Structure 1
Amino acid sequence: MIQIVPVDPNDGLGLFIDFPHDLYKDDPNYVPEIYSSQLELLTNYPVYGNSAVQYFLAYVGDTVVGRIATFIKLYHSDKIGPIDGYFGFFDCIDNKVVAGYLFDAASRWLRDRNAVSIIGPLNFSCIGPLGMLVDGFQLPPSFMTPYNSHYYPNLMDRLGFKKKTEVQAYKFTNQQYGARRSKDLDRFQVQLKRKGITFRKVDMKNFKRDVLMAREVYIGSQSNSIRVMSMKGNEFDHIAERLKKILDPDLCILAEEEGKVIGFAFAIPDLNQILIKIRRGRLFPLGLLKIKLGKKKISSVRIIFPVVLDSCDRMSIEACLFGSVQAGCLDKKLSFESSWTLKDNPLANNALIPITGEPHKKFRLYLKDIE
């Protein structure tokens, strides 16, 4: 008999966090999330994320066989009329009935809060893990990107979910940046400088100031970002503060016009190269030591695709931002993945393919009406 049990965030999150470790225990590509980070996220997100959240576990007898989180944005619920609901942290055995029970519970919870659709998966924001892996199962995930078993898309199709959008990740090696690209970058920067647009690294001594300006760009840009849901400033600030500890300022580039930030791009080290070796995401007794010893051995980063204000010369500025971060990767002999880019965004994809980037993973966001 299948039971769906609401999770008390003050008591039952341990089982919720640990279920994927058991589900993927025989999968060599699975990377466990750090337990303490997941606990902080699941506990505190409803506050800084301006959200109402409910977690569910699926049981058969005493055995956990699935999990899901569902949430709404509270600043959406103030609107008159229907709103969107979201799901994330979905993991399940290969069983349509179990998956169906989980989504039924999530949909009922959302319907009671005036939601007319359920969208996901996304783990609370468009900066963190977003979408369901539908191509690229043979590879481990890079940092802050999703991973799931190959049967997940089939479960979604059988449950009546439809594709909302797809995003891609491109893979590059440090050999894939030639002299021509370097000259193109120099030429673009010279042209933009004549227009008063310059580029600089993030100032770690004035990190909060730079984050505030980058936040305004992110919120003010609509056309070149994944816009599944809106994000308030305190969410962006919280994510930036969490990333600060691992950022390399040489790989965080801002575009400015008359002292105002109008675009940004940055790279984060692929900590998954270390986390894949940390059993069940526990930092103790040896996890912290593995991270400390392994950080200097990380050979790849993930570039967050440039975000530029819509009112600007997006194509040239994006090219310079991306090229500047890419050149930094070359100097440090790092390979990198670029994500996310919308699969139906020709501007972004046409910019990446000529520099021999290969789309090596694809992720899908799903949508279903709540009846």
Structure 2
Amino acid sequence: MTDLTVTPVSGRADTTAFIRLPYAVYRDDPHWVAPLERERRAFLDPGRNPFHDNGTVQLFLARRSGKVVGRIAAVVDPRFTERHDPKCGHFGLFECADDPEAAAALFDTAAGWLGERGLTRMLGPLSLSTNDECGVLVDGFGGPPTMLMPHNPPYYPGLLTRCGFTKAKDLLSWRIPMPADGEPPAAVRRVAERALAAPDVVVRPLDPGRFDADLAAVKDIYNDAWAENYAAVPMTDREFEHTVQQLKPIIRPELLQIVEVGGDPAAFTLWLPDTNQALAAAHGRLTTFGLPVGLVRVTRAARRIDRTRAVTSGIKKEHRNRGLAAAMFAQAQRAAFRLGYTESELSWILEDNRDANRYAKAVGGQLFRTHRLYERSAG
């Protein structure tokens, strides 16, 4: 093989190479949806992505005879080490040609960087935490990814196992065709009706007139509900505000359902239009030579979005086992039906989250995609 080097990303040219490598990796993949380059540049910028307020990220590029063939991020998240494992770091943003030597060099370099910081275990891909994209696609390659879900070539799982990684956890995606009448199955409706029969329980959509207050309540529920989830870390105020600003243009108030118990927010579910159905038309750029070519394409394609993704949900611990999930999901599904969507995706759900997976089956969900988190030693 020709000479191979792995070096830290340094400067704008390296950052651009890091961002644009996927265009080579996915050149022949009809399902890949190119992210917007300006969004990726902001994501990697410590001055614009509040993850960097707490976490430390080092990017690396692999080159063979001067040509970029792979990339990786090594990540230390103090919130994760404090909450889950003081000796565990992450890797993420991994992309690579079908080149086992380059993949091994990238993983070894990331592991070495983590080891220099006293970490002995490496988990990923987390790009850059469970609040972002997670996992390697290992099953369900037959279509384009849904928004904010990873996509990768089928050879990636083999690269990881050859490099000493083993399964840590699977993340499941369920596809739910919209019923002809927009109604959930009778058994789910009965659970929802029992929950709503309690005089102190109300399910309502996001109130645009009190957008900030409603979203603040969502953050509190999210951090409470996800506190004990596998690998989860709480979102800081800055991270949450940053995420809201990114999602605000596509949030449909009817698809963010909030449950109140005794007037206090207790649960929520957020469904979003699958913007990947429109984003594919931009080919990664909203402008070309200063002209809004991509923006025009995206605007036209957005009219054809017919799928939603249930991006995140949460129920405060003290309000579980009351049927609140059925109540709020039923309302979200009815709203999606009224808005003209023909199917929804529940993703991702931890493989051992028995209640959530049971609910996905109960509403007619079809398990159609699996992503996997991997682990190996570092240092």
1:184 Cα deviation after fit: 4.2
In structure 2, what is the Cα distance between the partners aligned to 1:315 and 1:192?
Answer: 10
1:219-275 superposed Cα distances (whole Å, 9 cap, x missing partner): 112478554444333222321221111111111111112232111101111111122
SS of residue matched to 1:311: helix
Secondary structure of the residue that 1:245 maps to in structure 2?
helix
Aligned to 1:188: 192
**Partner of residue 346, structure 1:** 354
- Aligned counterparts, 1:108-257, within 5 A: 108-175=112-179, 179=183, 181=185, 184-185=188-189, 188-189=192-193, 191-194=195-198, 196-222=200-226, 225=229, 227-257=231-261
Matching of residue 72 in structure 1 with residue 80 in structure 2: no
Calculate the TM-score normalised by the size of structure 2.
0.90
Cα deviation code 1:109-142 (max 9, x no counterpart): 1122222211111212324321110001111101
Distance 1:182 1:207, change over 3 A: farther
- Alignment-derived partner of residue 103 in structure 1: 107
2:338 aligned with 1:326? no
| Matches of 1:263 and 1:111, distance apart in 2 | 40
Q: TM-score, normalised by structure 1?
A: 0.92
Q: Which runs of 5+ in 2 are unaligned?
A: none
**CA pair 123-176 structure 1, distance change in 2 beyond 3 A:** farther
Instruction: Tell me the CA shift for residue 39 of structure 1.
Output: 0.7
Runs of 5+ consecutive residues of structure 1 not aligned to the other structure: none
SS of equivalent to 1:115: coil
Matching residue's letter, 2:238 = N
In 2, the alpha carbon distance for the partners of 1:177 and 1:135 equals: 31
Q: Which residue of 1 aligns with 2:263?
A: 259
Q: Does 1:296 align with 2:303?
A: yes
Aligned to 2:27: 25
Q: Distance in 1 between matches of 2:191 and 2:115?
A: 54
1:47: Cα distance to partner?
Answer: 5.4
- Give 2:367's aligned residue: 359
Deviations, residues 279-327 of structure 1 (Å, cap 9, x unaligned):
2445433111112222222111111242111221346111112221111
- Hey, what's the Cα distance between the residues in 1 that align with 2:136 and 2:142? 14
SS of 1:217 mapped into structure 2 = helix
1:309 alignment counterpart: 316
The one-character-per-residue Cα deviations of 1:2-59 (angstroms, maximum 9, x if unpaired) are 1111112555211111100111111101110011111111113265552111111100
Deviation at 1:354, TM superposition (A): 2.5
Q: How many residues align?
A: 370
Please say if 1:14 is aligned against 2:16.
yes
> Contact 1:305 / 1:322 at 8 angstroms: preserved in 2?
no
Check 1:77–1:10 CA distance in 2 against 1; reply closer, same or farther (3 A cut). farther
Matched-pair identity in %:
28
1:176 to 1:62, Cα distance in 2 relative to 1, 3 A: farther
* Distance in structure 2 (CA, Å) of the matches to 1:178 and 1:288: 32
Deviates more, 1:168-177 or 1:260-269: 168-177
Residue 168 of structure 1 and its aligned partner are, at CA, apart by 0.8
Shift of 1:187: 5.7
Compared CA separation, residues 282 and 6, structure 1 to 2 (3 A): farther
Find the aligned partners of 2:324 and 2:49 in 1 and give their Cα distance.
Answer: 33
Aligned mates of 2:183, 2:211 — CA distance in 1: 33
Answer whether contact 1:125 1:231 (CA < 8 A) is retained.
Answer: no
Structure 2 match to 1:35: 37
* Cα deviation, residue 346, structure 1: 1.8
Whether the 8 Å CA contact 2:182–2:334 is kept in 1: the answer is: no
Residues 145-175 of structure 1 show CA distances to partners (whole Å, capped at 9, x for unaligned) of 0000001001111111111111111112223
Task: Give yes or no for contact 1:46–1:53 (8 Å, CA) kept in 2.
Answer: no
C-alpha distance in 1, partners of 2:237/2:351?
A: 27
CA root-mean-square deviation: 2.4
